[in-house]
A = this chain, B = another copy of it.
Amino acid sequence: MAQKIKLSTIAESLGLSTATISLALRDSPLVASDTREKIKEQARALGYIYNRRAASLRTSRSGIIGVVVHDIMNPFYGEILKAIETELDRNRQTFILSNHYDSVEKQRNFIETLLQLGGDGVIMSPAIGTPIEDVRLAETNGMPLILVARSMEGTALPTYRGDDSYGISLATNHLIGLGHKTIAMIGGTDQTSTGRDRYQGYVNALRKAGIEVDPELRIPGPRSMQGGFEAAVNFLSLPQKPTAAVCWNDLVAIGLMNGIARTGLVVGQDISVTGYDDLEQASIAVPALTTVSNQQAEVGRLAARALLDRLAGSHEPDGIHLIKPEMRIRQSTGPHRPRA
C-alpha cells in the first residue's frame, strides 16, 4: 500500500525532472547514456509501473487492439485468434477479445467500449446483419477496421478470408470423382457471405459435372458438433438416399459421423463425409476426416499484419483477399456404393 511510484517519484529521488525520466525510460538519445542507465536502475528498484492511460491520453495511442468474432470457443476462430495473438504479441500490442454470438448489439457495444478505451484498431468477423453505421462509427473515430473470415457487402474494407466457394468445390469434386451422384450439403446458414459462397461452390461443382442440383439435399443447421449430430437422422431418411455429405465444417462433419455411426452404418464405406477447416480434431476423428484446410493460421496472420501495417502508416489498397484452401484426403470418404 506504499504510495504510487510515478515519474515524479523517480525524478525527485534522483534530483532530475520528469521530462528526463520520461525520455530516458523510452531510450531517447536526448539523455546521456549514463544518466539513462541510472534512471532505469532506479525505476526498477522502486518498482515503477508505466501508466499507459496517462501516456495514451497525451499521445492518443493506446497499444490496444480489439478482436471480435462469433465465438472464441469455436476452434475455427480459435485457430485464427491464435495466429492473430502471435502476430500482435510480436509487436507488443495488447488485444481485447470478445464474442458477439452474431448479436449486432453485442458487437456494437464492443466497438463502443473499444473507442472509449482509445483502441488503435479492430479486427472483426462481422455479425450477421451488421449495419454499415457500426463500421462507420469506428472509422469516423479514427479506428481502422479489418475484416476476417467473413466479408461484408457494401464496404470496401480490407478483408481476409478463405476462398470458400473454391474450397467447397474441391470437396465436392473429390466426392464426384469417387463416383457419388447424390450428395447432400449439411449445416450452416445462407445468411452470411461465407454461407452463400459455400453453397455456391457446391452448386458450381455439381453443375460442372452435369449433376442436377436438388434443393432438398441442402440441410441447413447450427455450425456445431451438436448440429451435425442432430442432422444425421434427417440426412439418412432423405428419400433420395444420398451416399455422401459435404459438411459446413469439421465440427458438423464429426457430429454427423457420430450420428451415422450410432445407426451402425460405416462412414467411409457406406457413406462418405467431408469436413471443412481441417481442425486438429479432424485427423484424430474416427474415421479420420477428409476435409479442406482453410488455412486459418494464414488468414489470421495476414489480417493482423494488415492492421499493423495500417497503423504504421502504410496504406495498402482495400478489398477482399482470398486465401486458397487445400484438400486433405483421409478415411471418411470412399468409392460410391449404392445404399440398401
Binding site for B on A (CB under 8 A): 1-2, 47, 49-54, 56-57, 62, 64, 72-73, 75, 78-79, 81-82, 85, 94-97, 99, 112-113, 115-118, 140-142, 224-226, 229, 255, 258, 261-262, 280-281, 284-286
Q: Is the CB of A262 within 8 A of B286?
A: yes
Give how many copies assemble into the complex.
2
A53-B57, A57-B57, A73-B82 known; 5 other A-B pairs, CB under 8 Å?
Answer: A2-B140, A53-B62, A53-B117, A73-B73, A225-B281
Interface CB pairs A-B, < 8 A, 11: A2-B140, A49-B112, A53-B56, A53-B118, A54-B57, A72-B73, A73-B75, A73-B78, A96-B97, A225-B280, A255-B284
- Cα distance A53–B117 when bound, in Å? 6
- Cα distance A280–B99 when bound, in Å? 18
- Cα distance A281–B51 when bound, in Å? 43
Instruction: For the complex formed, measure the closest distance between the CB of A115 and the CB atoms of chain B, giving whole angstroms.
Output: 5
B residues near A79, Cβ cutoff 8 Å = 73
Choose among B1, B94, B116 the residue that contacts A142 (Cβ–Cβ < 8 A).
B1
Instruction: For the complex formed, measure the closest distance between the CB of A76 and the CB atoms of chain B, giving whole angstroms.
Output: 10
